[in-house]
């Protein structure tokens, strides 16, 4: 893989600047790792999160962190990144002002500021204030990890770093941690370096994770105008993309031994089926579908017998007996807004097993990635 620019001696930041003119991911800065009851992690930072030298965030720090955490904790992980070319304490604070943190299990802050020895005390105090502010907006038990990049405090000792970390944590949340990355990025071996960084960060994040917030409050508060704008921007219902998702729908139906499966896009007041298998309905009133709840639910919805569930027993397809068993997982657009649901259902009830949603989550994320690729090329 050849990058634009010729090799020459340079500082760590110059290496990244050279890579910036070459290969970097074009997909959404998000990664998933399979597993039950997924945690949500938000990574915020600059150059180290960009993914220079690889074509997808699955191979960058975001993906490496998700996989490393899943291996350590035994749960699924959804890791989203907020990335800017230059990330200072002030810019990170601004980027997080409007982010809903009450549904985030952990925040990872990766700052690009070089550590000027004359300003270490003030830098630590600023980071302390930022950590305290974020902690106040997160639920009890959620954690914050500050990542110190290789170029920051490059010549500082471990004792000085420990003192710096103590100042950051002082009076802030007890779950605030500091981890130092010691190896610089060589873009010729970027994927391996990202893997190492992801494992290093994950070891610290995993120490302070509580139970997944999924188990305390799974239903998200959606911004409907933003969500609808995301659906409209895709133009997905007028593109003839059904064949692009038919295989995913078929795989999902086969994996669950279900007679029916679909990917439905929730457009305004209707659920419109982008791809479907085993039934002929083109669209339904949104409020009459279990998919509406599944789209609003982090972690998916599974119902063993919808006729025995007061929430759904009055829905037309449930009353008719066409839908008894149902499992659905939301599908998000490239901007992170929920746009629809991948679901499987059958006319026979069955026992509800929580792990039934784990595989469906993987299928839904396959659909998300395909939707993102198609939207990028559209």
Q: pLDDT, tens digit, for every residue of 74-127?
A: 999 999 999 876 667 888 888 888 888 888 999 999 876 554 545 666 777 787
Query: Which tokens hold the place of 177?
Result: 């941690």
Look at 69 and 136; give whichever has higher pLDDT: 69
Interatomic CA distance for residues 328 and 263, integer angstroms: 9
Q: Which of these ranges, 3-12, 39-48, 76-85, 313-322, has the smallest mean pLDDT?
A: 3-12
Chain position carrying tokens 């800017």: 84
Q: Which of these ranges, 2-6, 100-104, 161-165, 177-181, has the smallest mean pLDDT?
A: 2-6
Could you tell me the domains of the chain? 12-215 (3.40.50.1110), 224-377 (3.30.450.40)
* Secondary structure, 3-state, the chain: CCCCCCCCCCCHHHHHHHHHCCCCCCCCCEEEECCCCCEEEEEEECHHHHCCCCCCHHHCHHHHHHHHHHHHHCCCEEEEEEECCCCCHHHHHHHCCCCCCCCCCEEEEECCCCCCHHHHHHHHHHHHHHHHHHHHHCCCCCEEEEEECCCCCCCCCHHHHHHHHHHHHCCCCCCEEEEECCCCCCHHHHHHHHHHHHHHHHHHHHHCCCCCHHHCCCECCCCHHHHHHHHHHHCHHHCCCHHHHHHHHHHHHHHHCCCEEEEEEEECCEEEEEEEECCCCCEEEHHHCHHHHHHCECCCEEECCHHHCCCCCCCHHHHCCCCCEEEEEEEECCCCCEEEEEEEEECCCCCCCCCHHHHHHHHHHHHHHHHHHHHHHC
Residue 243 burial by CB count (10 A; 0-12/13-18/19+): exposed, middle or buried?
Answer: exposed
pLDDT band at 233 (very low <50, low <70, confident <90, very high): confident
**Predicted TM-score (pTM) of this structure:** 0.83
Query: Which tokens hold the place of 194?
Result: 């990202």
CA 36 to mean position of chain CA atoms: 15
Hey, how many other C-beta atoms are within 10 angstroms of the C-beta on 196?
A: 17
Look at 232 and 182; give whichever has higher pLDDT: 232
- Closest CA relative to residue 336, chosen from 253, 229, 256, 264: 229
Give yes or no for residue 9 having a pLDDT over 70. no
Give yes or no for residue 6 having a pLDDT over 50. no
- Closest CA relative to residue 230, chosen from 81, 101, 339, 315: 339
Interatomic CA distance for residues 361 and 280, integer angstroms: 24
pLDDT score for 22: 67
Q: pLDDT, tens digit, for every residue of 191-220?
A: 999 999 999 999 999 998 988 877 666 677
Average pLDDT, integer, range 233-238:
72
* Secondary structure, 3-state, 241-301: CHHHHHHHHHHHHHHHCCCEEEEEEEECCEEEEEEEECCCCCEEEHHHCHHHHHHCECCCE
Query: Which tokens hold the place of 191?
Result: 């994927």
Q: Which of these ranges, 297-301, 311-315, 344-348, 363-367, has the smallest mean pLDDT?
A: 297-301
């Amino acid at each position: 893989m050849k990058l634009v620019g010729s090799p020459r001696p340079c500082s760590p930041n110059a290496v990244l600047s050279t890579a910036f003119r070459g290969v970097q991911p074009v997909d959404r800065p998000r990664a998933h790792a399979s597993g039950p009851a997924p945690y949500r992690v938000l990574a915020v930072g600059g150059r180290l999160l960009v993914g220079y030298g690889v074509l997808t965030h699955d191979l960058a720090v975001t993906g490496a962190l998700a996989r490393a955490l899943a291996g350590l904790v035994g749960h699924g992980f959804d890791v989203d990144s907020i990335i800017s070319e230059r990330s200072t304490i002030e810019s990170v604070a601004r980027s997080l002002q409007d982010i809903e943190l009450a549904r985030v299990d952990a925040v990872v802050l990766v700052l690009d500021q070089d550590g000027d020895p004359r300003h270490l005390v003030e830098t630590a105090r600023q980071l302390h204030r930022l950590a305290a502010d974020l902690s106040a907006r997160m639920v009890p038990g959620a954690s914050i990890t500050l990542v110190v990049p290789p170029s920051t405090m490059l010549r500082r000792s471990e004792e000085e770093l420990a003192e710096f970390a103590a100042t950051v944590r002082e009076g802030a949340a007890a779950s605030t941690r500091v981890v130092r990355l010691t190896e610089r990025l060589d873009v010729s071996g970027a994927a391996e370096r990202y893997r190492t960084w992801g494992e290093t960060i994950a070891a610290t994040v995993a120490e302070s994770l509580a139970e997944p917030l999924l188990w305390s409050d799974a239903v998200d508060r959606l911004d409907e105008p933003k969500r609808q704008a995301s659906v409209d921007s895709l133009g997905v219902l007028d593109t003839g993309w059904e064949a692009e998702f038919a295989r995913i729908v078929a795989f999902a139906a086969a994996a669950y031994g279900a007679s029916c499966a679909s990917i439905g896009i929730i457009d305004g007041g209707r659920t419109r089926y982008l791809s479907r298998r085993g039934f002929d309905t083109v669209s339904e009133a949104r409020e009459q579908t279990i998919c509406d709840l599944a789209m609003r639910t982090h972690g998916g919805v599974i119902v063993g017998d919808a006729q025995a569930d007061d929430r759904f027993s009055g829905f037309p397809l449930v009353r008719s007996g066409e839908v008894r068993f149902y499992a659905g997982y939301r599908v998000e657009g490239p901007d992170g807004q929920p746009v629809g649901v991948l679901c499987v259902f059958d006319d026979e009830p069955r026992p509800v097993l929580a792990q039934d949603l784990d595989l469906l989550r993987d299928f839904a994320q396959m659909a998300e990635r395909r939707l993102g690729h198609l939207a990028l090329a559209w």
